[in-house]
C-alpha cells in the first residue's frame, strides 16, 4: 500500500515528462507560506509555485553543456501523508544533458520537514530512463533552468 500510494504521489510531484501544467519560471518569487523556509535554505532557487506546491532547483552552478547531476525540491504547502507519516518535501536527484536536451530522474527522497530537512520518510528509486522533457512540463522547466546559459 505504501509503495502504491507513494507511486501515485510521486507521479503528481515532479512529472518530468507530462505536461500537467504549463510551467513558467518565476522571476521574483511571491511571498508564500513556504517562502520563509526557502530563505533559510540558500542552496535552493525557486522556479515555480502553484496553490499546493513550490518547486526549487539546486542553486549550485551547473555546466551549460554535457551531462551533470541536478536536484529539484518540491515543498508542499499542506503536508501529504505516506504510510501514515507526514511528508512536507521531496528532493528529486536527476541527471541532465544540456547538449542532448535530455534528463533522467534517479531517485526521490521524501522528507518529514520542509526544504528537504528532517528525517527521511522514504527513498524511492525512480526507474526512469533518458528522455526529452515534455514541452510545458515541470520537467522541461527544471531542464531549461538547469541548462540556462549563465
Residue 9 C-alpha cell reads as 504521489
| Tens digit of each residue's pLDDT (9 = 90 or more) over 71-118 | 999 999 999 998 899 999 999 999 999 889 999 999 999 999 999 999
Considering the four listed CATH numbers 2.60.40, 2.40.128, 2.40.100, 2.60.120, the one that applies to the domain covering 2-146 is: 2.40.128
The cell 541536478 sits on which residue?
70
Q: 16-46: b or e for each residue (b if 16 or more CB lie within 10 Å)?
A: bbeeeeebeeeeebeeeebeebbeeeeebeb
- Segment 10-37 shows an average pLDDT of 40
Global pTM reads 0.73
Enumerate the domain spans of the chain: 2-146
- Segment 116-135 shows an average pLDDT of 95
Amino acid at each position: 500500500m505504501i509503495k502504491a500510494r507513494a507511486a501515485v504521489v510521486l507521479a503528481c510531484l515532479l512529472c518530468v515528462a507530462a505536461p500537467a501544467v504549463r510551467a513558467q519560471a518565476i522571476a521574483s518569487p511571491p511571498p508564500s507560506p513556504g517562502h520563509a523556509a526557502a530563505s533559510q535554505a540558500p542552496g535552493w532557487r525557486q522556479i515555480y509555485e502553484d496553490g499546493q506546491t513550490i518547486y526549487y532547483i539546486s542553486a549550485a552552478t551547473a555546466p551549460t553543456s554535457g551531462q551533470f547531476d541536478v536536484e529539484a525540491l518540491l515543498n508542499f504547502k499542506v503536508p501529504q501523508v505516506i504510510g501514515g507519516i507526514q511528508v512536507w518535501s521531496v528532493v528529486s536527484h536527476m541527471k541532465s544533458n544540456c547538449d542532448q536536451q535530455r534528463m533522467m530522474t534517479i531517485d526521490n527522497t521524501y522528507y518529514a520537514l520542509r526544504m528537504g530537512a528532517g528525517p527521511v520518510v522514504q527513498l524511492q528509486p525512480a526507474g526512469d530512463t533518458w528522455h526529452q522533457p515534455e514541452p510545458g512540463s515541470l520537467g522541461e522547466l527544471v531542464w531549461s533552468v538547469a541548462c540556462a546559459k549563465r
